[in-house]
Structure 1
Amino acid sequence: MHPLLNIAVKAARAAGQVIVRHADRLDTLTVQDKQPNDFVTEVDRMAEREIIRVIHRAYPGHAILAEESGTQGSHEEFQWVIDPLDGTTNYLHGIPQYAVSIALKQKGRLEHGVVYDPVKEELFAASRGAGATLNNRRIRVTQPRDMTGVLLGTGIPFREDQNLDYYLRTLSVLLPGTAGVRRAGAASLDLAYVAAGRLDGFWEIGLHEWDMAAGVLMIQEAGGLVSDLKGGSDYLATGNVVAAGPKVFKGMLQRLNPVVNRA
C-alpha cells in the first residue's frame, strides 16, 4: 500500500472509532443546522479533527479541504479532501448507512482515496494506477450490455439551493426499463458501491467535492467512467455527477442528453 494511502486508511479508521463510539448516545449530541435540513453534529467535528490530526502528524505541511473546517494551508502540491461523516442525517436517525471519505489530490489530480463504513467495517480504497479494493480484495464495476435491468443509485435534492424539478426530469428519463433506483443517503458509499459492483450506476446533482472525491477515483480504478451530466470533466466543480461501467455510463448520458440540453 502506498504510504499516502496508508495514512488515509489510518485517519479514516480513527474517525470511524469516534463515530461508532458516539452512535449509542445520539440523544445527547449537539446538533446544528448549516442550512435547512443540512445538519452538523459535534461528532462530525470530532471526527474531522481526528482525521486532520493523523494527516498532519505524518505530513504537517499538506493542505486540507474539509467539510466542516474548510480550507487549511496552501501546499502547492498536496491537498487532502475530507468528509468526516457522510450521511449525518442517517447517523442521527440511527440508520447504519454513513461513511468517512478521504481523498488526496496531487497537483490538482486525484491520486488516492478511502471510503470507510465503520458500521460494516468495510474499507474501500484506491490509488491511481493501482486499482480499487474492498477490505484488500480487488473490486470491479459491473458490465451490463445496456440499461435493461440495471440498479441505479442517486441522491434526491433536499436543500433550497438545489433544483428539484431538474432532478425529477433526470429521474424520469433514467428510471424506465431499469430494476429500480436506490437513495441510501451517503453519496460516498453510493459511489464506492458502484466501484464494487453493488450498484450498476449512480447520478446526483449538487454534491460537494468532499462528497465524491474518493468515490470517483475508486470507480475509475475499478474500470468505470465518471463525468458531469453533459459528459464533461468538471464534476468536482459543478457537483453534478454520473458514474457507471462503460456501457451503462453511455446509456445514462444518452438518456440525460435531452434533459441537460433543455436546462
Structure 2
Amino acid sequence: MGEGNDIPLVGGKSFTAVAINCAAKAGEWIKTKLGNHTSLSIKYSAQDLVTEVDKGAEKMIRNLVGTHFPHHSFLGEEGVEPGPEASTKALQSVKDAEYLWIVDPIDGTTNFVHGFPYFSVSIALAHWGEVIVGVVYDPMRDELFVAEKGKGAYVRGRRMAVSGEQTLRDSLLATGFPADPNYAQPLNMKQLQAIAPQVRNVRSLGSAALHMAYVASGRLSGFWEIGLNSWDLAAGALLVKESGGAVTDLQGNEYHLGVRHVAASNSHLHGEFLQVLQQAEAGS
C-alpha cells in the first residue's frame, strides 16, 4: 500500500494498520470456529442469524480499536437491535462523530452457520460521516481488500481496478436475497426477474461486503441489494470507488452511510443497470 507515511495517521497511529490488524485477527479466529459454533439465534427474520462467534468477533474488534483510539465512536452490527428502524436509529446517533468505526464482524453469517466458505470481516472508518478507510477480509481465502480515500484500493498488495464491460449483456452481476420478507424480498425478486434475461449471468453468494470487493477487483461487473445497513456497505463502497467504480442508491444518488438500497458497478454500465432496477421497482 505504499510507504507508511502515506497512511492516515492520528497521534502517530495508522488507521489503516489498525483496521487491517483487527480484520486479520478476527478473521483468523472466526475461521477456527467454522463448524464449531455452539449457539444460533434468529434476529429480524428466519434468514437473519447470529452466533456467539459474531458477538465474540465484534467484541474483539471493539476492544482492539478501543486500545488504539479510545475516544473514537463505534457502530457494530451486533450492538444494534434487529430490524431496519433500529439500524437507522443507531446510525443517526453516531453518524456525526468525528471518527466512527463501522463493523460487521461476520458478513455472511448464514454461510458461516452452514459451513459455506464465503463470508468476511468488514471494517470501515468514517471521518465526519465520510468513509476514509475500508477493509474487507476473507479469512477462508486469506484475501485482504484495503482502500484509503484518494489513494486507491488493493488486494494481496496489488492495486485493484473495476472490470471493463460496457453493457449489461456482457456483465456478470451479483445480488443478495434480503432478510425482510415483506418489502425488500419481493422487490429484489422483481428486480432479479427483470435483470436476469439482460445479463451474462447473476450470482448470489451471501456476503454483500465480498460482493462489493469483487466489483472493486473486476471479478463482478456490478452488484445490487435491498435493505442493507451501513456495516454491510461502508468498507465495500470505498473499495469500489477507489477502484474506479460507481456506488449509488437506486435513484442514482451518491452513496452515503444512510443508503440501504444499493447499486455498485464498474461505472461503464451503471446508467443502464439503474434503469432496469428502477423499471422493476416502478412495476412492483
Aligned match for 1:53, one of 54, 63, 67: 63
Shift of 1:161: 4.7
Distance 1:20 1:258 in 2: 41
Which is further off, 225-234 or 194-203? 225-234
| CA distances 1:68-99 after superposition (whole Å, capped 9, x unpaired) | 01369968310000000111110010100000
Aligned equivalent of 1:252: 273
SS of alignment partner, residue 35 of structure 1: coil
Say whether the 8 Å CA contact 2:180–2:227 is kept in structure 1. Answer: no
Say whether the 8 Å CA contact 2:105–2:121 is kept in structure 1. Answer: yes
Matches within 5 A, 1:42-191: 42-70=52-80, 76-191=97-212
Structure 2, gaps ≥5 residues long: 8-13, 81-89
Say whether the 8 Å CA contact 1:143–1:246 is kept in structure 2. Answer: no
Give the aligned residue type for 2:36: R
Shift of 1:251: 1.4
Runs of 4+ in 1 over 4 A off after TM superposition: 71-75
**TM-score, structure 1 normalization:** 0.93
Aligned equivalent of 1:211: 232
Which is further off, 33-42 or 188-197? 33-42
| CA distances 1:135-185 after superposition (whole Å, capped 9, x unpaired) | 111011012121122100100123335432222221122222311100000
Aligned equivalent of 1:12: 23
Which is further off, 154-163 or 40-49? 154-163
Instruction: Tell me how large the CA RMSD over aligned residues is.
Output: 1.8
Q: % of aligned pairs identical?
A: 38
SS of alignment partner, residue 243 of structure 1: strand
Say whether the 8 Å CA contact 2:208–2:233 is kept in structure 1. Answer: yes
Say whether the 8 Å CA contact 2:237–2:255 is kept in structure 1. Answer: no
Distance 1:174 1:235, change over 3 A: farther
Shift of 1:39: 0.9
1:31 aligns with 2:40: yes
Say whether the 8 Å CA contact 1:79–1:106 is kept in structure 2. Answer: yes
Which is further off, 11-20 or 172-181? 172-181
SS of alignment partner, residue 227 of structure 1: strand
Structure 1, gaps ≥5 residues long: none
Say whether the 8 Å CA contact 1:146–1:251 is kept in structure 2. Answer: yes
Shift of 1:261: 4.1
Say whether the 8 Å CA contact 1:151–1:181 is kept in structure 2. Answer: yes
Aligned equivalent of 2:83: none
Distance 1:58 1:238 in 2: 29
Distance 2:114 2:172 in 1: 25
Say whether the 8 Å CA contact 1:18–1:46 is kept in structure 2. Answer: no
Distance 2:190 2:97 in 1: 41
Distance 1:261 1:5 in 2: 41
Distance 1:100 1:166, change over 3 A: same
Give the aligned residue type for 2:24: R
Give the aligned residue type for 1:7: V
Say whether the 8 Å CA contact 1:229–1:260 is kept in structure 2. Answer: no
Aligned match for 1:223, one of 244, 249, 252: 244
**TM-score, structure 2 normalization:** 0.87
1:242 aligns with 2:263: yes
